[in-house]
Amino acid sequence: MLGKWSLLFSHMCSSSSSLLLLWTLVGLDVVEVSGSQPGIPLSVVKLWASAFGGEIKSISAKYSGSQLLQKDLWAITAPRPGTNSSSEPGSPKYKEPEKSVRVEEIDGVKLVKNLALKLEEVFWKKAEATRRLVEAAEEAHHQHEDNPDLQYEYFNAVLINEVDEEGNNVELGGEFLLESNDHFNNLSVNLSLSVVQVPTNMYNKDPYIVNGVYWSEALNKVFVDNFERDPTLIWQYFGSAKGFFRQYPGVKWHPDEHGVIGFDCRNRKWYIQAATSPKDVVILIDVSGSMKGLRLTIARQTVSSILDTLGDDDFFNVIAYNQEIHYVEPCLNGTLVRADRTNKDHFREHLKKLFAKGIGLLGVALAEAFTILNEVRIFPYLIGRESAFADNLKWMACANKGYFSQISTLADVQENLTWTVLFPRLIS
């Protein structure tokens, strides 16, 4: 007799798994022994089915990860030592973990309040660390008397662990212990000392720098104390108006392929926002024929450096003038634009298109600037070594609560702009 079978195997990988594997085998012929023709006994079919099912179970357990899931659930729900249950995974008394898992209601308001308290504690610690640094800096500066002849060796961030051709430590370098620390992204740092970075365009032993570095050594102790009190702190630093930057923990700085480090803390957003209030700035740039050549190059760099001192809370515009006025960005006539990175980069591109010709009529440009700003302070720059107009520009600055600067070379640009971040409103 010929019969048609359908065998259905439904197998759960484990009592703790939610994975269901459904296998269906359809159309297996089972033949009764008829005459001398050999048939397949039912017991053999059952044996095949059992073997097939075992193989499927083994494969599903291997690739589904159900056994690992079972162990993880057991680790969560298994009875703890000292309880009256001794069930183990795989034993006859093993209790299904699903029955031990429960849903617990959480008070959302209480959760938010607890989170707010934890955040308040975190921010309070950071504020206290900052307060201790401010108080220590003010006290150290108050106690120090500037000495133009002061000689002081300090750890320069670029020169530490550098040696000369004879194998001796270079000046302002010295041996500085550095160890890799995973809290600082596996950088090699010194948790006992800070280092000092000085902009490339500044002299490492300038008297102003040396005196500032000397009195700010008092911050080392506070840096270390802050980190011991709050190990979640990462970098601590002090930025000086003179240009030097003290950083804790100490780490070695590496210049670019040209031997230059362009970093100047006075141009960083955090320094600008801390040192100044929001300001509106109109920059007037002379593009008359007398500005041809190096003078116009210096003027472009000066404007670009002024833009570096502006932050997101500031607004500005740039006007070029000769016998007429020309807004560097014609679409922004008579208005100001936010000093974000996109706008500043856009204006820098337009500065490249300026060229010198004609005569310079400053009065026309000033009149235009006064229509944009109400309360005005004027900070004139004299480009070049000539001093014919210096007295007039100094008078203009003093009469309008500003400051006069003369810029003779490209190297003078950065140092003569450090004060600009201190004033709330200005015309340059």
Cβ-contact 278, 423 below 8 angstroms = no
d(CA 56, CA 207) in angstroms, rounded, equals 82
- Looking at residue 227, its pLDDT comes to 95
pLDDT in tens, 114-153: 999 999 999 999 999 999 999 999 999 999 999 999 999 9
- Looking at residue 101, its pLDDT comes to 56
What CATH superfamily is the domain 277-427?
von Willebrand factor, type A domain (3.40.50.410)
d(CA 81, CA 60) in angstroms, rounded, equals 33
Number of C-beta neighbours around residue 305 at 10 A: 18
- Closest-CA residue to 202 (of 159, 260, 150, 147): 260
- Looking at residue 108, its pLDDT comes to 83
- Looking at residue 327, its pLDDT comes to 93
- Looking at residue 35, its pLDDT comes to 42
d(CA 396, CA 400) in angstroms, rounded, equals 6
Q: What share of the chain is helix, strand, coil (3-state, %, to 5)?
A: 40, 20, 45
d(CA 157, CA 425) in angstroms, rounded, equals 35
Q: Give the residue range(s) of CATH 3.40.50.410 domains in the chain.
A: 277-427
- Looking at residue 383, its pLDDT comes to 79
- The region, left, alpha or beta by phi > 0 then psi within -120 to 50, assigned to residue 182 is alpha
- Looking at residue 241, its pLDDT comes to 85
- Looking at residue 422, its pLDDT comes to 39
How confident is the chain (428 residues) per 10-residue block, as mean pLDDT?
Answer: 33 33 33 48 79 79 66 60 50 50 77 91 93 94 92 92 87 91 93 92 88 95 95 92 92 86 84 81 90 88 87 91 91 91 93 89 88 83 76 82 74 58 40
- Looking at residue 31, its pLDDT comes to 37
- Closest-CA residue to 204 (of 165, 235, 162, 236): 162
- Provide the residue type at 166 as one letter: E
d(CA 22, CA 242) in angstroms, rounded, equals 76
User: Which residues fall within 8 angstroms of residue 199, CB to CB, at 6 or more apart?
Assistant: 243, 261, 263, 264, 414
For residue 315, the 8-state DSSP code is: E
- The CA-atom distances, in angstroms, between 145 and each of 141, 150, 151, 243, 318 are 8, 10, 14, 19, 41
Instruction: Please tell me whether the overall predicted TM-score, pTM, comes out greater than 0.85 for this model.
Output: no
- Looking at residue 10, its pLDDT comes to 31
Structure tokens at 232: 């979640």
- Looking at residue 252, its pLDDT comes to 95
